[in-house]
């Protein structure tokens, strides 16, 4: 069985994660909590979020969950303030929440466009806005924006999602410049096709299996923990001089 790194700098560090009740987000919550971080996470799925928090707190870890719709900016920023009151100002923010709902570009309405941008991009900016003052006061911090290889490999049926995910790296680059002089690092974490329950249930069919086998340089599959372990490194002091970059965890698929 493989053994993975521990990061002493994450011990007791306040961390905020969006979309943390399932998939990659749940793995992020588990991995940061296992490192001894004080984790606050939001999700719209109340039952799953409550169960995950209860499970990890039962292990003696420090986890708080707030049910929140990230497209409600005041509510989301209030949730972040609540985590700060309980754990201290966030020193790590992982903008993980997203939704790759399929859509036909010819049928997109302005309202649908706005909704998808709110789910996949807008919340990341306003979460940064909420945590940055505390990080500035501390003179340190790590912000991790979750991208996607989908726009790099031109995946079909998700053009708005791909547009938002391409914009994530622009957000990363611009905010790295804005916040860097205050000691705050901002990077993009870019997963490939990750074997979450949603992907396995809705999208991974025999043709998808063949596509992965043909496209990845590495054999096997990318799992949520593979992505989370990169997030741990980017959050820890081990990556102290890394900012404005994108880190692709896709088994060697996309040409980033």
Q: Which residues are catalytic?
A: 161
Q: Crossing angle for the helix pair 110-117 and 159-179, nearest 10 degrees?
A: 40
Please state, in angstroms and rounded to a whole number, the distance separating the CA atoms of residues 149 and 154.
Answer: 8
Cβ neighbours, 10 Å, residue 133: 12
CA 46 to chain centre: 18
Q: Is 223 helix (H, G, I), strand (E, B) or coil?
A: coil
The encoded tokens of residue 34 equal 């296992």
Helices (H), 110-151: 110-117, 123-138
The Cα 112–Cα 45 span in angstroms is 21
CA neighbor of 91 nearest in space, from 34, 41, 123, 139? 139
Distance of alpha carbon 190 from alpha carbon 211, whole angstroms = 19
Q: Residue 195: count other Cβ atoms within 10 Å of its Cβ.
A: 16
Mutual orientation of helices 23-34 and 46-58 as an angle, nearest 10°? 20
* Phi-psi label, residue 176: left if phi above 0, alpha if psi -120 to 50, beta otherwise: alpha
Burial level of 39, CB count in 10 A (0-12/13-18/19+)? buried
CB-based contact 220:250 (threshold 8 Å): no
């Amino acid at each position: 069985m493989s053994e993975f790194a521990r990061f002493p700098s994450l011990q007791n560090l306040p961390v905020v994660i969006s979309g943390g009740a399932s998939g990659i987000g749940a793995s992020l919550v588990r991995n940061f909590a296992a490192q001894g971080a004080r984790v606050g996470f939001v999700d719209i799925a109340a039952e799953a979020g409550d169960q995950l928090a209860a499970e990890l707190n039962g292990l003696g870890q420090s986890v708080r969950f707030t049910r929140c719709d990230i497209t409600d900016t005041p509510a989301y920023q209030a949730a972040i303030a609540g985590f700060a009151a309980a754990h201290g100002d966030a020193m790590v923010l992982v903008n993980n929440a997203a939704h790759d709902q399929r859509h036909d570009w010819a049928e997109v309405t302005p309202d649908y466009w706005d909704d998808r941008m709110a789910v996949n991009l807008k919340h990341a900016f306003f979460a940064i806005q909420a945590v940055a003052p505390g990080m500035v006061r501390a003179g340190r911090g790590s912000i991790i924006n979750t991208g996607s290889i989908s726009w790099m490999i031109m995946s079909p049926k998700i053009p708005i999602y791909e547009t938002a995910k391409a914009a994530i790296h622009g957000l990363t680059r611009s905010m790295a410049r804005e916040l860097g002089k205050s000691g705050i690092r901002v990077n993009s974490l870019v997963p490939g096709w990750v074997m979450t329950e949603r992907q396995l249930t809705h999208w991974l069919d025999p043709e998808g299996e063949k596509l992965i086998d043909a496209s990845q340089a590495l054999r096997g599959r990318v799992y949520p923990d593979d992505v989370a372990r990169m997030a741990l490194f980017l959050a820890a002091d081990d990556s102290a001089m890394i900012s404005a970059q994108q880190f692709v965890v896709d088994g060697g698929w996309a040409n980033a």
